[in-house]
Structure 1
Amino acid sequence: MNTADLGLPVDVPSTALFTDQYEFTMLQAALKAGTAQRRSVFEVFTRRLPEGRRYGVVAGTGRVLDAVENFRFDPDVLAFLRERKIVDEETLDWLAGYRFSGDVWGYPEGEVYFPGSPIMRVEGTFAECVLLETVILSILNHDSAIAAAASRMASAAGDRPLIEMGARRTHELAAVAASRAAYLGGFTSTSDLAAGFRYGIPTVGTSAHAFTLLHDRERDAFQAQVDSMGRGTTLLVDTYDVAEAVRTAVEVAGPELGAVRIDSGDLLLVAHRVRQQLDELGATDTRIIVTSDLDEYAIASLAAAPVDAYGVGTQLVTGSGHPTCSMVYKLVARAESTDAGAPLVPVAKKSSGGKTSIGGRKWAARRLDEYGAAEAEVVGTGPVPAELADRQLLVELVKGGDVVAREPLDVVRDRHAAARASLPLSATQLSRGEPVIPTEYVNGRSESRTGA
């Protein structure tokens, strides 16, 4: 796997240091204690959704698979660990031959999730699984937060296209991942060329206010852009006076002008005025694109406006107020010994303060109501009830260390659209509320419920 596919600088040879130091100190201690080779099961889940959110979106799975495949300790990485005395020589020798040889199961990318959903399950020895904690969480927490915001914005936008424009509002590598997550969540294009190059996302872009200010007259700027890009281009009309700019734009490009972009002011009022003006000038097919710190609420407020597309930046790449999903990676089962056939024992953190978890390797299924809409997320540790056997959510992603479920991004995008459509209609409401369906826990003996 080329590191460029991960959005990494070309001089970064692996993902092995995208981690926290305590993963290595735990490894070293476990190797000395003779417990490192115990078969273990780790699960990724979140105890709650961000406040007010009705559902979560699984995003970043494809990037996780790349990261696991690229988790290697080359000589430079080992030299760094030796120089800093992070671990001892015995541990360094073990790391030199590291290759993840276990199994990974998870919700298909693009699927929705709820509190307690076992979004990803990583199985192997304790030593090989514990090292993957930080890189898996960093990818899933970031990408899922962006995808959830994008999904809400796509619901608010309806059939109108959304353009991802947030590259300048976040870290340059995070911008590429954010664009991928936004496309998964329902955006149609991006301004970020690196995202287009790496993931095949359609790219768009024309000009900024600086281009207009460069020229002696706004007309000259418009003429230069039309001469370069054709009459179907998008002209930015709010550098000076919007009404005058629209008039000039149609004079320069004619009624074939592709679109005008509005980036400031009362967008609802201005959009109505611009639409009326364009129609009066004969540019009835010229589209109106609005930008300017939009979020899902602003997009929803423009539903009745004559707007044809939205460009979203800051609020998208910061998760629209929720930049992380608070996912955790917890050991839920481990073998009684290092023997290959040793049975698994459920384990779980039981401390107070709202951070308890449920032990045991889990399955998950989504129960539907009589109309085919989701009515509950069912998570269990015992046998899967017969009526849920064909509704299970986890799929095999990695088998024996080999990736077996890499998918095109468009497939993932379509899956999310279908998953969102399968939820109750209240899932798309922007008003604050609880998860749209409850999570039910089944252990073969009893049930408990959480959520709305």
Structure 2
Amino acid sequence: MVRLTTTRSVTVTDRTGLLTDRYELTMLDSWVRDGSADQNRAQHSAVFEVFARRLPEGRRYGVLAGLGRLLPLVEAFTFDSDEVAWLQAEGVIGEQTADYLRDFRFRGDIDAYPEGDLYFPGSPVLTVRGTLGECVVLETLVLSVLNHDTAIASAAARMVVAAGDRPIIEMGGRRTHEQAAIATARAAYLAGFASTSNLAAGRRYGIPTVGTAAHAFTLAHRSEEAAFRSQVDALGAGTTLLVDTYDIAEGIRTAVRVAGPALGAVRIDSGDLADEAAKARVLLDELGAPDTRIVATSDLDEFVITALADAPIDGYGVGTRVATGSGHPTASMVYKLVAVSDAVGGPLRTVSKKSKDKVSVGGHKTAFREYDDGRLVREYFITDGALPDRGKPVQVPVIRAGEVVHSPGIEEVRAFTAAALRTLPAEALSVAAGTPYLTVTLDNPEETA
């Protein structure tokens, strides 16, 4: 369960029911009144799907993230008596719906692409099945988690690919909401970042945490040397010293004089990083510290990291451009009704939007993938339930009868993400702009025979 434990005026709660938009409950109220909200519990009466119509411009793939955060939030999607009373007082719901919500919890089924998997335009990354009422109210929660974490992970994966064997530290906590910072650290780690500066993320998810000192630490001392001596005394010679507060070359000389050749690393946070790293490497070698690493920070993203590929940099720190919209466009996932029953015990009727630029394919979809020597070559879906004689199913069961049945550990998801990225060819992994590597559509046996 999710526990928001705070002090003073903020109430401690386990419930997530109000993490939704008003119109979810006004729709529910209408359906409760006409009897369609909870009909046909024995047989799923509605199917909703999450997908993206397109990838951000220039992107060739996306990485799904947030599932591990979302599923406990779905289990906790309930309402206490005070919340129900407030909803009535605000005119959101009537008495019938108030009775409905007092005993509400999601009791349906959810299938999803495993967290860390790739997705493309049209991929049905998550499918929710249940009664119409219990499915519709999850829309805002599902999209807020998946859109945020997927945007982070998709950007982070591109940075990881660009960095190659060089580790990346996630350090964007000061650039976003305090709770979003924790989710950001998790999504970036799943996508391949090596560590985070965020202690809450480290404690909650077991992500390695790193960090030493900021420019303020150096400025607070009478001299750069005094600052470095204080840090080395506290953290040992293997620490990372920030050498660009005043003059980088002089800072490096001071760092080696204080810590000796066992100095772990120097961090450069300004200037022409390629040029400064090259000069730093030469100077460190001359000073007898060839094993001292160089860490670069300062507004890095996949494009800057790619441009620094030939520089003698041993690791990166990325903050703003992984944690905020300046570094990644939205995932633009949507949550749409694709099938609904019109009567108790009746068959599911396929539904879909037909509006310009937002056309969708109706029907409950099952997605499959085909591989050639380990390389992903095709993804498609079927809607009639008949299993094809080729391809591997993509979705896995994650919730059954309202209970989470899929909860891999963070290291398992991280390894899965890395394996998924290895199924793409080099041209799809390039940061250069291009069209989506795949577009997922309804299977047409005649086209693939």
3-state SS in 2 of match to 1:377: strand
* Contiguous gaps of at least 5 residues in structure 1: none
Cα distance change on mapping 1:99 and 1:379 into 2, 3 Å:
same
Q: Note the C-alpha offset of 1:14.
A: 1.5
Partner of 1:277: 283
Match of 2:266, SS state, is: strand
User: Secondary structure of 2:179's partner?
Assistant: helix
Partner of 1:377: 379
Going from structure 1 to structure 2, the CA distance change for 1:168 and 1:111 (only over 3 Å counts) comes to same
Residue among 307, 325, 331 paired with 1:325: 331
2:96 match: secondary structure: helix
The aligned counterpart of 2:429 is 428
Cα distance in 1 for partners of 2:59, 2:69 equals 24
Which residue is equivalent to 1:37? Answer: 38
Question: How far apart in 2 are the matches of 1:288 and 1:263?
Answer: 11
Residue of structure 2 equivalent to 1:410: 411
Which residue identity does 1:335 align to in structure 2?
Answer: S
Alignment of 1:202-221 (within 5 A): 202-221=208-227
Deviations for 1:297-353, whole angstroms, at most 9, x for unmatched residues? 1111111111111000000012554342110000000113123xx21111111122x
Stretch moving more, 27-36 or 153-162: 27-36
Q: How does 1:52-451 map to 2 (within 5 A)?
A: 52-318=58-324, 321-339=327-345, 342-352=346-356, 354-369=357-372, 371-382=373-384, 383-388=386-391, 391-442=392-443
Cα distance in 1 for partners of 2:296, 2:129 equals 47
Change (3 A) 1:447 1:23: farther
For residues 304 and 248 of structure 2, the distance between their equivalents in structure 1, rounded to whole angstroms, comes to 21
> 1:363-383: per-residue Cα shift (whole Å, max 9, x none)?
1111123x3311111122122
1:86 is displaced (CA, Å) by 1.3
Q: Which runs of 4+ in 1 moved over 3 A?
A: 319-323
Q: Quick one: structure 1 residues 79 and 37, their matched pair in 2 at CA, closer, same or farther if it must change by over 3 Å?
A: closer
Residue type of the alignment partner of 2:438: I
Rate the CA distance shift 1:12–1:323 in 2: closer, same or farther, 3 A. farther
Offset at residue 197 of structure 1 (A): 1.1
Q: What secondary structure does 1:3 align onto?
A: coil
Tell me how far apart the structure 2 counterparts of residues 12 and 223 of structure 1 sit (CA, whole Å): 46
CA distance, structure 2, for counterparts of residue 322 and residue 417 of structure 1: 20
Q: Give a deviation string over 1:22-47, Cα, whole Å, max 9, x none.
A: 00000010111121124100000010
Please give the TM-score of this superposition, normalised by the length of structure 1.
0.94
Cα contact 2:2–2:15 (8 A) shared by 1: no
Q: State the secondary structure of the residue aligned to 1:355.
A: coil
The superposition leaves residues 215-274 of structure 1 with CA deviations (integer Å, 9 ceiling, x where unpaired) of 111000000000111111110000001111100100000001111000000000000100
C-alpha deviation, 1:80, in angstroms: 2.2
Distance 1:230 1:240 in 2: 23
CA contact (8 A) 2:33 2:96 kept: no
Q: Is the 8 A contact 2:2 2:72 kept in 1?
A: no
Q: Partners of 2:375 and 2:326 in 1: how far apart?
A: 27
Give the CA deviation at 1:423: 1.2
1:374–1:437 Cα contact (<8 Å) kept: no
Q: CA deviation at 1:82?
A: 2.3
For residues 290 and 262 of structure 2, the distance between their equivalents in structure 1, rounded to whole angstroms, comes to 9
Moved more, 299-308 or 149-158: 299-308
Deviation at 1:81, TM superposition (A): 1.1
Note if contact 1:28-1:87 (Cα within 8 Å) is conserved in structure 2: yes
Cα 1:193–1:144 change in 2 (3 A) is: same
Corresponding pairs, count = 438
Native 8 Å contact 2:49 2:126 kept in 1 = yes
Work out the CA distance in 1 between the residues paired with 2:350 and 2:37: 17
One-letter code aligned to 2:253: R
Look up the SS of the partner of 1:387 in the other structure: coil
In structure 1, the partner of 2:42 is none
Note if contact 1:45-1:327 (Cα within 8 Å) is conserved in structure 2. yes
2:74 & 2:179 partners in 1: Cα distance?
A: 18
Structure 2-normalised TM-score?
Answer: 0.95
Identity percentage over the alignment? 56
Task: Provide, for residues 161-184 of structure 1, a one-character-per-residue CA deviation record: whole Å limited to 9, x for no partner.
Answer: 000000000111111111100001
Check if 1:3 corresponds to 2:7. no
Give the RMSD, CA atoms, in angstroms. Answer: 1.5
Structure 2: runs of 5 or more not aligned: 40-44
Distance 2:447 2:361 in 1: 13
How far, CA to CA, are the matches of 1:315 and 1:190 in structure 2? 14
Asked if the contact 2:366/2:382 (under 8 Å) is kept, the reply is yes
Cα displacement (A) at 1:417: 0.5
